[in-house]
Amino acid sequence: MKKWLTILVLIGTFVSAQAEPNPWIEPPLTTERNFPVPRPDVVPEIPAAHGSYPAYAIEWWYWVGHLRAAETDEQFGFQSTVFRRAAGPDAGDAEDTAQCGDDQLFMSHAGLSDLTAGRYTHVERIYRGGWQAHSAEGQLDLAAGPIMAMENGQGGFSMTVSYPDDSRLELTLTPTKPMVSFGDRGLSRKGADPAAVSWYWSYSRKAVRGQLWRNGEATAVEGVAWMDHEISSSQLGSNLAGWDWTAIQLDDGTEVKAYRLRENDGGMDPWSACYWIDEAGEVSYVYADRFEWREIDAWTSDDTGLTYPTSVDIVARHPDTDIIRTYRLRPLLDEQEFRGNRAENPYWEGACEVLDENGDRIGLAYLELAGYGGGLAAQLAQ
């Protein structure tokens, strides 16, 4: 019996070892280019966590949200992203006060989906750190091209995003749930490369109020938003062609975040993950082996000719309840393709509704489909 028990334990150990396809990989202190790599077990402190980490190679602040006009039926979706890229590992040594600096590069992407009129507006700008773009340390004070965001002194952020034809959004975003930190020991991993980790801090739900200015007239809007702030020095493994990512805000007050890292050969990278955030802000997650990303339908862009799987079903087994959940994402507007200044790297980022198995709406989501026009890995590798 004892022998069988030993064998069973051994077999059990082996099986349980096999059942953990995403073991902990200790990240190095620096990347090959000597950028610091985010450390594990770092607890983000407010407000410094909102500010910039200039020594790290790559950083972005990302907001998506769903708005409705307070007095009409109009509905909107918005996406505002500021990317920062450091010139070199010494970029964060001292503050670059030059008006045309050469330490940091900023790229801003602003998209606005008018879901009622069926119109999508987007703008990209690239600036060096200086008078046209900056990100302060210690708190959120960010400006890059058309996007400006800062602490408003009342626990939230104020954000102004300018669009073509003198349109702009002026929003106040106030977290309604605590900030979450994704990943094992506070590190979100995107690949097997030891340095492929990031601090990934999000507000999964923020109340939004503000105004949308169009043709000199303001429309009061309100809604809900999601914010990500990610800091790393190396992201994707070179085996990756791109990613599909979604932030789901369910009507029951919980959120789901999922992303599929697509390998060059078409498979799903094992570090793909699905996260649940409950009402209290507690996070549970599974990796690729415990959820599926099913492409249901696609849309082809007339401008770029690229085809995006914009209707997807995410089927995941909740790690705590073991219940299989199905989230059906359907785009609220087909044409939400973000095309930058050059034709090199368009992606689809759009507002979606979330349906359950029965086809009933259970929430809203933003879906991002990147890398369908070419390899993004080189863009984000350091």
Give the residues lining the site for another protein (CB under 8 A): 85, 87-88, 98-100, 102-103, 105, 110, 123, 125-128, 130-132, 143, 145-146, 148, 160, 162-166, 341-342, 378-379, 381-382
**Measured between alpha carbons, how far is 51 from 28 in angstroms, rounded to an integer?**
24
Q: Which residue lies nearer to another protein by CB, 69 or 126?
A: 126
> Cβ 48 to another protein, closest distance in Å?
24
Region for 255 from its dihedrals, namely left if φ exceeds 0, alpha if ψ lies in -120 to 50, beta otherwise? beta
> Cβ 123 to another protein, closest distance in Å?
4
Q: Which residue lies nearer to another protein by CB, 175 or 346?
A: 346
> Cβ 160 to another protein, closest distance in Å?
8
> Cβ 376 to another protein, closest distance in Å?
12
List all residues 6 or more positions away from 156 whose beta carbon is below 8 Å from its beta carbon.
172, 173, 174, 175, 206
Q: Which residue lies nearer to another protein by CB, 329 or 381?
A: 381
Q: Which residue lies nearer to another protein by CB, 177 or 190?
A: 190
> Cβ 169 to another protein, closest distance in Å?
12
> Cβ 19 to another protein, closest distance in Å?
38
| 3-class SS letters over the chain | CHHHHHHHHHHHHHHHHHCCCCCCCCCCCECCCCCECCCCCCCCCCCHHHCCCCCCCEEEEEEEEEEEECCCCCEEEEEEEEEEEECCCCCCCCCCCCCEEEEEEEEEEEEEEECCCCEEEEEEEEEEEECCEEECCCCCEEEECCEEEEECCCCCEEEEEEECCCEEEEEEEEECCCCEECCECCEEECCCCCCCEEEEEEEEEEEEEEEEEECCEEEEEEEEEEEEEEEECCCCCCCEEEEEEEEEEECCCCEEEEEEEEECCCCECCCCEEEEECCCCCEEEEEHHHEEEEEEEEEECCCCCCEEEEEEEEEEECCCCCCEEEEEEEECCCCCEECCCCCCCCEEEEEEEEECCCCCEEEEEEEEEECCCCCCHHHHCC
The label of the residue with tokens 């929003």 reads 171
> Cβ 291 to another protein, closest distance in Å?
32
Q: Which residue lies nearer to another protein by CB, 31 or 311?
A: 31
> Cβ 369 to another protein, closest distance in Å?
22
Q: Which residue lies nearer to another protein by CB, 61 or 163?
A: 163
> Cβ 97 to another protein, closest distance in Å?
11
What's the gap between Cα 114 and its chain centre? 21
Q: Which residue lies nearer to another protein by CB, 143 or 171?
A: 143
Q: Which residue lies nearer to another protein by CB, 79 or 254?
A: 79
Q: Which residue lies nearer to another protein by CB, 164 or 319?
A: 164
